[in-house]
Amino acid sequence: MKIVAAKSILKFNDQLAAENRARFNALGLYVVNLVGSPGCGKTTLLEGLFEQLGSRIAPAVIEGDIAGQVDADRLKQRGIPVVQINTEGMCHLDANMIGVATSDEDYSHINLLVIENVGNLVCTSGYDLGEHLRIVVLSVAEGDDKLVKYPNIFQRSDALIITKTDLLSFCRFDVDRVRNDMQRLAPEAEIFEVSATRGDGLAEVADWLAARCTSAAPAASTD
């Protein structure tokens, strides 16, 4: 009897992720895996960040959704190149999906590829997609106890962006508690506070991302 352990499936995913990463490096493409709950504001954050980045960075997006293409349509309207992955019920993206989705795309003029993962604070945490940076988004409306309740995904992220800070007066959300919990779980992680609808904090994230993008991405293909 052949026994397929979850561990070996994840190991296979890690191999594919490493292949993706090598290909992204060869292309000079900096890749971000953006994770968070449904409705935490990932797409609105991207809209704001791309506007802030202006001509400094040429972005492209992969949208991961159970069904539909609501977010892809929003970004396409802004002229952002988007590939839509419909998982048809699957709760997270994996490295194989990203490999297939990117294989035919022309990223020669793109610096930054953002993968907007399925809205899920649990299942997305275990799958390396080949990204250079994992950013977790937490909205003020979700409450300040989420790091204690869903520690894995925060522990495995390089940055936390607290969104919807315009709702701080209307929600029970202690920013200091969240900052402390994040420092405990991921001491190296950057922490930002943003209201994408108001524009607060976007410039800071955009500058940080642009710096990461240009310094970390190796020289583009020499052909």
Residues within the interface to a copy of itself (CB under 8 A): 1-2, 37-40, 65-68, 70-71, 89, 91, 118-123, 139, 141-143, 145-146, 148-152, 164, 166-167, 170-171
Tell me how far, at minimum, the Cβ of 4 lies from a copy of itself, in Å.
9
- Which CB, 64 or 201, lies closer to a copy of itself? 64
Tell me how far, at minimum, the Cβ of 70 lies from a copy of itself, in Å.
5
Alpha carbon 83 to its chain centroid, in Å, reads 15
- Which CB, 123 or 220, lies closer to a copy of itself? 123
Tell me how far, at minimum, the Cβ of 183 lies from a copy of itself, in Å.
18
Tell me how far, at minimum, the Cβ of 160 lies from a copy of itself, in Å.
14
- Which CB, 88 or 104, lies closer to a copy of itself? 88
Tell me how far, at minimum, the Cβ of 87 lies from a copy of itself, in Å.
9
- Which CB, 141 or 191, lies closer to a copy of itself? 141
- Which CB, 29 or 34, lies closer to a copy of itself? 34
